[in-house]
Chains A and B, each alone.
Chain A
Amino acid sequence: MQRYLLRRLLLALVTLWAVSLIIFVMSRAAGDPRHVFLDDYSKQADWDRLTVTLGLDKPYYQQYGIFMISVLKGEFGRSIKEQRPSMEVIIERLPATLQLGLAAFAFSVVLGVPLGILSAVKRGSVLDTVGKIVALIGQSAPVFWLGIMMMFLFAVRLDWLPPYGRQEAVSIILPAVTLGWFFAAANMRLLRSAMLNVLDSEFIKLARAKGVSNRAVIWKHSLRNALIPAMTFAGVTLGGLVTGSVVVETVFAWPGLGQLAIQALFGNDYPLMQAVIIVFTMMYVASALLVDVLYAYMDPRIRYA
């Protein structure tokens, strides 16, 4: 178990390092950040001064060294556009993204898990068909389009909910459902097939033969075992929610990290961009790690694989 954990932790660190390297190289290849401040009419002296301020006069390996040291210290440089530390901007945006992520996660579990169980138990019923349709849409419709369509239906046509922003409490409904749908669909499919597998196994037959009630068979004996694969997927979900938020926040103008990432990327604000991407990857890697550990804890077979 310890060896396994150590291995996983090491991998997480290596991943973060690889990401930081990719980001560093790419941000330097992305074009001259000085263009954000200056134009062709600016004086040469201004160009030179900015070069020094941004540290662009140093060789690349030194720039990388400076970058790595500040990353390790948790300082990500100053955002070019906002003129203040990137971390400050990120911390300001973080609550909105976490809120959206949590809401979407809750939606995916509340919709996906019961529907998955019920469609397995009542296979071939109307409910099963409904579940299938919901799942198929969730897995095939592009997230951004789904969001726009819901915005059109519920905000433009029916005028029930605000189309974008985060001013009102109900503003979160549309983005959360959009973001959560795909994962609800995945949860549902996963749980359904896991339940079917378990329900078909010998120990369930034994339980039934012993005269255990139908309810206990389904909710106790089967569900506990079917939840294991669903649990692993929950980890993937957490990670996926992070990246999904990039798209959904853009569609609904939700003022979180995803929107910030897009703004920084397209605005060539590279200190901010580096910071956002590293924070995103950290969240992603941490959630994967958390789930791996939980999974190994719950299912001893994993540790020795």
Chain B
Amino acid sequence: MAEVTARITVAPVPARIRVARRAWQMRRLPLIPMFTLAMFVVTGIAAPWIAPHNPERGDIRARNVPPAWLDGGSTKYLLGTDHLGRDLLSRVIFGARISLVVVAVTLGVGMVIGVSAGLVSGWYGRWVDELVMRLVDIKLAIPTILLALVLVLSLGQSFLVIVAVLAIAVWPRFARNVRGEVLLLKTMDYVSLAKVAGASTPRILFVHIFPGVINTLIVLATLEVGIVILLESTLSFLGAGVPPPTPAWGSMVADGRDRLAVAWWISTMPGLAIMLVVLSMNLFGDWLRDKLDPRLRQLE
């Protein structure tokens, strides 16, 4: 311990790096969040095989059954049932599937748009850059939820529309950060060398510049997952998500809203699921950011 202190006094390391280093030492692999996320993904993919009941068809004789550990609960319905007698566990499991698909598609689309926009805008500069960045500014200045609601309600409530709307919500952050990286990378000697060697612009962008952006991209994507899940569930809570009876976590919370006194578990369980996944994703994302791209930390 004394040795370390002495070394630092002799050769002072810049403050920021020291903080980052200390933060890094304290962060080991986030096992619990990773396990939760793995569960989420597996549940989402394997939903039809592991769900004990049909999530959309209820047993009218078994309405508002409490979770198994409470009085009146039964092991047939581990998390209880809702007001239509549908098994909550099965609905939560299928809800994971919806969230998983929405996140995967939304981030995929949003990332492709954002990265392309960022690459082009950073590389060409001038009016292209100006145009893209003003679009980003405009998007960031519009309240996301309202924009999403207007779009979903006017274009119709379907999976496709929702994914499109969410992709519109996520692309600007990717574009802005990728642009920043490109501005840095394009001054590098190896890029100039590639230019001198006669590489075409697409080749430079995809073969030489894009790999340099991947770290930032991974970190951003993980941090964005939570945002997408929260947005999607908020939309479906407000009644503008994937249409019922498909079990989305947000709309399940809305189902139980007026039945808190009778059956609090209807709202509680899906909300817990959202929180667990978002929490794990955030913890995992923080860890990944500190490991891969500590500079992003300043963006908060």
Tell whether A18 is near chain B: CB-to-CB under 8 Å.
yes
Chain B interface, number of residues (Cβ within 8 angstroms): 47
B138 touches A15 (CB 8 A): yes
State how many angstroms separate the Cβ of B168 from the closest Cβ of chain A.
Answer: 11
For A151, what are the chain B residues with a Cβ–Cβ distance below 8 Å? 260
B150 touches A265 (CB 8 A): yes
User: When A149-B271, A152-B264 are in contact, do A201 and B146 touch as well, CB less than 8 Å?
Assistant: no
B153 touches A12 (CB 8 A): no
A142 touches B238 (CB 8 A): no
Q: Which of B141, B144, B271 contacts A288 (CB 8 A)?
A: B141
Report the bound CA distance from A182 to B250 in whole Å.
18
Most buried by A among B16, B237, B270: B237
A26 touches B154 (CB 8 A): yes
B155 touches A142 (CB 8 A): no
**0/1 string, B245-263, CB within 8 A of A gives 1:** 0000010011011001100
Report the bound CA distance from A281 to B138 in whole Å.
11
A11 touches B275 (CB 8 A): no
**0/1 string, B267-300, CB within 8 A of A gives 1:** 1101100110011001100000000000001001
**0/1 string, B40-69, CB within 8 A of A gives 1:** 000000000000000000000000000000
User: When A200-B18, A266-B239 are in contact, do A148 and B153 touch as well, CB less than 8 Å?
Assistant: no
Most buried by A among B137, B154, B274: B154
A190 touches B300 (CB 8 A): yes
Tell whether A246 is near chain B: CB-to-CB under 8 Å.
yes
Q: Which of A14, A251, A285 contacts B134 (CB 8 A)?
A: A14
A15 touches B153 (CB 8 A): no
Q: Which A residue sits closest to B229, measured CB to CB?
A: A142
B275 touches A23 (CB 8 A): no
Tell whether A284 is near chain B: CB-to-CB under 8 Å.
yes
Tell whether B217 is near chain A: CB-to-CB under 8 Å.
no
Tell whether A189 is near chain B: CB-to-CB under 8 Å.
yes
Tell whether A126 is near chain B: CB-to-CB under 8 Å.
no
A281 touches B143 (CB 8 A): yes
Report the bound CA distance from A152 to B263 in whole Å.
10
Tell whether A247 is near chain B: CB-to-CB under 8 Å.
yes
State how many angstroms separate the Cβ of A192 from the closest Cβ of chain B.
Answer: 11
Report the bound CA distance from A251 to B239 in whole Å.
12
Q: Which B residue sits closest to A136, measured CB to CB?
A: B279
User: When A23-B150, A151-B260 are in contact, do A246 and B15 touch as well, CB less than 8 Å?
Assistant: no
Report the bound CA distance from A82 to B18 in whole Å.
61
**0/1 string, A132-150, CB within 8 A of B gives 1:** 0000110111111100110
Tell whether A91 is near chain B: CB-to-CB under 8 Å.
no
For A189, what are the chain B residues with a Cβ–Cβ distance below 8 Å? 300
Report the bound CA distance from A29 to B137 in whole Å.
25
B238 touches A284 (CB 8 A): no
B250 touches A22 (CB 8 A): no
Most buried by A among B250, B257, B268, B278: B257
A145 touches B141 (CB 8 A): no
**0/1 string, A247-262, CB within 8 A of B gives 1:** 1001100000000011
For A106, what are the chain B residues with a Cβ–Cβ distance below 8 Å? none
- The 3 A-B pairs with the shortest beta carbon distances in the complex, nearest first, are A145-B271, A30-B154, A140-B279
A-B contact pairs, 18 of them (CB 8 A): A26-B154, A29-B154, A140-B279, A142-B271, A142-B274, A142-B275, A144-B250, A145-B253, A145-B271, A145-B274, A149-B267, A193-B297, A251-B257, A265-B150, A280-B146, A281-B142, A284-B142, A288-B141
Residues of B near any A CB (own CB < 8 A) = 15-16, 18-19, 134, 137-138, 141-147, 149-151, 153-155, 226, 230, 233-234, 237-239, 250, 253-254, 256-257, 260-261, 264, 267-268, 270-271, 274-275, 278-279, 282-283, 297, 300
Additional A-B contact list (13), CB under 8 Å, known A148-B253, A152-B260, A261-B149: A14-B138, A23-B150, A136-B282, A139-B282, A140-B282, A142-B230, A142-B250, A196-B19, A242-B143, A262-B238, A265-B153, A273-B150, A284-B141
